[in-house]
Amino acid sequence: MLTGKTILITGGTGSFGKAMLNELLGEDCAAISVFSRDEEKQDAMRGLITDPRVKYYIGDVRDRLSVDAAMVGVNLVFHAAALKQVPSCEFFPLEALRTNALGSANVLESAIARGVQSVVCLSTDKAVSPINAMGITKALMEKIAQSYARRIATSGGGTTISIVRYGNVMYSRGSVIPLFVRQIRDGKPLTVTEPAMTRFMLSLTDAVGLVKFAFAHADHGDIFIRKAPACTIADLVQALKTLFKADNEVRVIGMRHGEKLYETLARREELRGADDLGDFYRLRMDVRDLRYQVYFIEGDTGQAALDDYHSHNAERLSLPEVEQLLLSLPEIRAELARG
């Protein structure tokens, strides 16, 4: 799937974009284009990565012309560019809309116009039954992607557009684990929003594997989910304290703007028609058209037999299992090696 291909990563200087780039460097790709608006991060990446296959493009997904320039000759696109911080999106929802929804439309339209083979769009568990602006705009991104996919599918070919949806990526930029590690190092209280809160735990390696799986197996409009275990924030904090032999105070500060007690990766209505692929779920696109009068007569008699798939009912990690999962992260091992 990747051999000899030119691949574009939007948001290529973010945590996931860098992990995806490093993975692709081990493949026999012809070229990898990194697209982002962050000049400083691109310059730092150029200093670290000297592989001649890597090309850099300064641009913004909000600007269709800059996207078009980066899309020339591209075979595969991984679209990761987004505003991802829940609090900032809450205060600036129009900015989230412009990047996450309208910017995604620019990427998709450009890819279709250039005859790109496949586009995989990055989504989040926050897009399922969203209550915050980040989740709402990501849910809208999913709908926009599937609207293009539906149009292409009915015309009989063209660019394959799919979506990957996952929860928290451990030790990604802005996530809670590096924050807790810094607080432990600085001897400060560990600030916990709600100890009973649960989150899916996924490594960057598993997240990258999900994208590669989508490139290899996607049909028009598919949403792929990687099954992941979950843990409580209380257990995550305790596991970190145990590993670092820390006795920091734990201070409960209350939930932030737009936070949920648990996150959902798939609604039961989606799971009803899903394919269980072992480590993954494939959620099929709704292919019904606009002739709704049919459903006033025939309807859909099927009932969802499953519950939502969320971090409160997913596989729950025990405290020792959380510790082992943390030890699998190279960043945690590096921190522990510092003593």
The full set of domains in the chain, from first to last, is 6-167+202-226 (3.40.50.720)
Q: Is the pTM of this model over 0.95?
A: no
Q: Is the pLDDT of residue 62 over 90?
A: yes
pLDDT band at 286 (very low <50, low <70, confident <90, very high): confident
CA–CA distance, 103 with 10 (Å, rounded to integer): 11
Cβ atoms of residues 125 and 265 within 8 Å = yes
245 belongs to the catalytic site: no
pLDDT at 256: 79
Q: Is the pLDDT of residue 131 over 70?
A: yes
* Residue-level pLDDT at 290: 79
Confidence of residue 300 (pLDDT cuts 50, 70, 90): low
Euclidean distance between CA atoms 296 and 292, whole angstroms: 7
Active-site hit among 5, 126, 212, 260: 126
Percent of residues, the chain, with pLDDT higher than 70: 96
- Give pLDDT, residue 305: 57
> Which has the minimum average pLDDT: 21-35, 62-76, 256-270, 315-329?
256-270
Q: What distances in angstroms separate CA 251 from CA 104, 111, 189, 192, 336, one per listed residue?
A: 39, 47, 6, 6, 23
Report which of 98, 250, 77, 91 is spatially closest to residue 164, judged by C-alpha positions.
77
Task: Answer yes or no: is pLDDT of 255 > 90.
Answer: no
Q: Is the pLDDT of residue 299 over 80?
A: no
Asked whether the predicted pLDDT for residue 174 surpasses 60, the reply is: yes
| Interval 5-41: pLDDT, tens | 999 999 999 988 999 999 999 999 999 999 999 999 9
**What pLDDT is stored for residue 242 in this prediction?**
97
Distance in angstroms (rounded) separating the CA atoms of residues 130 and 339: 41
The answer to whether residues 129 and 87 touch, using CB atoms and an 8 Å cutoff, is no
Please state, in angstroms and rounded to a whole number, the distance separating the CA atoms of residues 285 and 267.
14
Q: How many residues does the chain have?
A: 339
Is residue 303 scored above 60 in pLDDT? no
Q: Specify the pairing of strand 31-36 against strand 275-276.
A: unpaired
pLDDT, mean of residues 250-259 = 88
126: tokens are 């926050």
How far apart are alpha carbons 165 and 207 in whole angstroms? 9
Q: How confident is the model at residue 275 (pLDDT cuts 50, 70, 90)?
A: very high
Whole-number pLDDT of residue 155:
86
pLDDT at 142 over 60: yes
Query: At residue 301, does pLDDT exceed 90?
Result: no
Averaged pLDDT, 296-305: 60
Task: Supply the pLDDT for residue 57.
Answer: 97
Per-residue pLDDT band at 306 (split at 50, 70, 90) = confident
Q: Which residues pair with 122 in a beta bridge?
A: 164
Report the range of poorest mean pLDDT among 66-80, 293-307, 325-339: 293-307
